[in-house]
Structure 1
Amino acid sequence: MKKYLSVFIILLLFIFSCESGKVEKSSDNKSTQEVEEIINLDEAVVVINNNAYYRNDVMNFIYFSFPGITEDDYNKDNLTRLFIDEFIKFQLLLSDAKKNNVKVSSERLNSIMNKIEKIGEDSFVIDFPISLDEYKKLLRESMIVKEWLNKLIEKNITVSEDEVKIKYEKIDKTKKSIVKYHVLHIVTTNYKDALNARRALLRGKSFKEVALKYSVGPEKDQGGDLGYIVLEDMPDIFQKIKRLRIKRISPVYKSDYGYHIFQVLDKKKEVEVGYEVLKPKLYQEIFAEKVEKFINDYVEVLKKNAKITINVDNLNLISDNSSIKNN
């Protein structure tokens, strides 16, 4: 489960100020898009180049793009505008992708949807207050956006050997160390299986036996044994491992990938100052930084060339709290 770079991570979440329900122009001098407040346009939340989007459009996008959202999150300052901004970025990129004739095959889309539909009602996906038809529509659109971003990145982003070497030379030698954890891992697609797996482990069943029965991860055939791993190279949920005592069975943790159980068998610190050892990690860091800057700059150009109007009041996130599940 290597930590692949997700193109959505690079769509940064900007927070804009709101006062008395009105949208103000961004004070960021780098922003070139002037946002106008909608005075009278029915109940549209956002209008982009004469295309109107309503509360249902934005809410479905939120459910799809932020599966871990909770009631507490909805009460955070400026979150409404944050979601709208991400929605605008998504629609601009989607429109741009379609203009460039980017498509995804129905076979590929249906293959993913079939897997989702088979997961069951306890799935972290099916928990969304969104229909499968709407989920499929958003999935198709997100795949189109990802495909377009990948093409742009492939065409515009390169990392040279010299750039990696320069970054290496700037690292304090005392910090050129890597902590490795020997980790056993079980991941399930639903909470019930995860609970049953943990109960079995606490009753003394071997991790290998339980992983073979319940886990859906690629390390299942190895009894859930990931060997020694660097947490920074793994998905964010693996950061929970830092809090675990050696040999302790973890609680059940939820992520976008499913439900996780960890057991740490050993922890060791290896001082690895060699360039060849750190080269892959440094390359990944430089690449990620370049991608982030490129995508943000690209979106700013799209915003500059678009006419965007917003009515924040028409979204009213708080009134929809009843449909959001605490996880």
Structure 2
Amino acid sequence: MFKVIVLCFFLIIGCGQQEANVTDDSKKAPAEEKSQVTQKKQPVLKINNNAYYVEDIINYAYYTLSEMNEENKNNPEVKKEIIENFIDHKLLLKKAENSGITVDDTKVKRVLDNFKSAFGKENLSTYTNKPVLDIRRLSNVIKEQLIIQKFLAEKLKNIKLEEKDLKNYYDEFVKRYKGVTLYHIYHLVADNAESAGKARQLMRQRHAFSDVAKKFSVGPLKEEGGDMGYVDISNYPAPFQQVKEMRIGSVSSVIKSDYGYHIFKLVDIKRNIRPDFKEIKSKLYSELFIKRQDELLDNLTKELRSNAKITISDNVSFVLSPKPPERSDN
């Protein structure tokens, strides 16, 4: 299912994870649906003492989900997730502000200037799904997002990964990892059938494969006698797949392909090979760190929700049309 990623603080602000500036002033509702017109006068969501209207959710969706495809925009499950992410965002913003997190206006301006420089005013207007770019609103969006990112970055400093953590994660990795099979093969490839036939005949006469390959092969390993070492052939072209049917020590017949004329010798097979801990240590660190990030964010939002009074109106209805609604500040 489509996943709305609004709280992805691991991404750079310029990736389009934005959120609209909203207030509790009276608002001017869109007219896409009758229910939306009704909901303009009543809040559809309350978080503690703050009320939010259907326009807030729509504007939030447009500023944060600028690249969402049209099919998903009005998917009921996606809409539900938009509301949930909206709630999490508001809770995180409030927590960050209460923690004393601030962002200098010069930094906001710098990010905004980068936006303009990267996209140009016209393209940025399209990027934010707004027919006319609202710089003030976009500045507020950027500022709120930077505040949350700064707050969460501080939280990330609490994540400490020790060697034992990585080794435990490696043990889990090995249990679920499907080992690969490695084949030690020699490979000769000729550019015509005649050369390949002569090479195969010499092999039948017990000439060493490597000596024959050095003479007839046009492949990159010609000087090595065609020795490829141990390789995982699962992603190699079709001719290599025939090695799986060979016996150790055997030499294949000439195999024709779009790449030329091939001859293989199978020297050895190693089955169920798993990567060494040191070999994938950096990969394990990245995976485990991201996992801990997700857990931290999940636990934080759960805690914030448990201490908040959240009320969502029944049957909240909104349409994400190509043109987002404009808020009135009167």
- Give the Å deviation of 1:140: 0.5
Q: How many residues align?
A: 196
TM-score between both structures, scaled by the size of structure 2: 0.53
Cα deviation, 1:217-243, whole Å, max 9, x if unaligned, reads: xxxxxxxxxxxxxxxxxxxxxxxxx9x
The equivalences for 1:14-33 within 5 A come to none
Which residue among 262, 280, 302 is the counterpart of 1:300? 302
Tell me which residue corresponds to 1:91: 90
The amino acid across from 2:48 in the alignment is N
Structure 1 stretches of 5 or more lacking a match? 10-39, 178-241, 243-270
Which residue among 283, 286, 289 is the counterpart of 1:287? 289
* SS of equivalent residue, structure 2 residue 9: coil
Cα deviation, 1:226-272, whole Å, max 9, x if unaligned, reads: xxxxxxxxxxxxxxxx9xxxxxxxxxxxxxxxxxxxxxxxxxxxx88
Q: Distance in 1 between matches of 2:124 and 2:41?
A: 37
Tell me which residue corresponds to 1:158: 160
Give the direction of change, closer, same or farther, for the CA distance of 1:165–1:8 in structure 2 (3 Å limit).
closer
The amino acid across from 1:317 in the alignment is F
Which residue among 134, 150, 158 is the counterpart of 1:131? 134
Tell me which residue corresponds to 1:140: 143
| Conservation of the 8 A alpha-carbon contact between 1:74 and 1:317 | no
Tell me which residue corresponds to 2:55: 56
Q: Distance in 1 between matches of 2:126 and 2:286?
A: 29
* SS of equivalent residue, structure 1 residue 52: strand
Tell me which residue corresponds to 1:273: 275
Q: Distance in 1 between matches of 2:108 and 2:85?
A: 23
Structure 1 segments of 4 or more deviating over 6 A?
none
Identity between Structure 1 and Structure 2 (%):
24
The amino acid across from 1:158 in the alignment is K
Flag the structure with larger Rg. 2
Q: Distance in 2 between matches of 1:163 and 1:176?
A: 22
Tell me which residue corresponds to 1:122: 123
- Give the Å deviation of 1:312: 5.5
Cα deviation, 1:267-291, whole Å, max 9, x if unaligned, reads: xxxx882322311110111111112
Give the direction of change, closer, same or farther, for the CA distance of 1:172–1:8 in structure 2 (3 Å limit).
closer
TM-score between both structures, scaled by the size of structure 1: 0.53
Give the direction of change, closer, same or farther, for the CA distance of 1:171–1:309 in structure 2 (3 Å limit).
closer
Cα RMSD between the aligned structures?
Answer: 3.0
| Conservation of the 8 A alpha-carbon contact between 2:66 and 2:127 | no
Q: Does 1:322 align with 2:325?
A: no
* SS of equivalent residue, structure 2 residue 123: coil
| Conservation of the 8 A alpha-carbon contact between 2:45 and 2:53 | yes
Q: Distance in 2 between matches of 1:312 and 1:108?
A: 40
Q: Distance in 1 between matches of 2:111 and 2:301?
A: 28
- Give the Å deviation of 1:138: 1.2
Structure 2 stretches of 5 or more lacking a match? 1-6, 12-38, 181-234, 236-272, 325-330
Tell me which residue corresponds to 1:74: 73
The amino acid across from 1:93 in the alignment is L
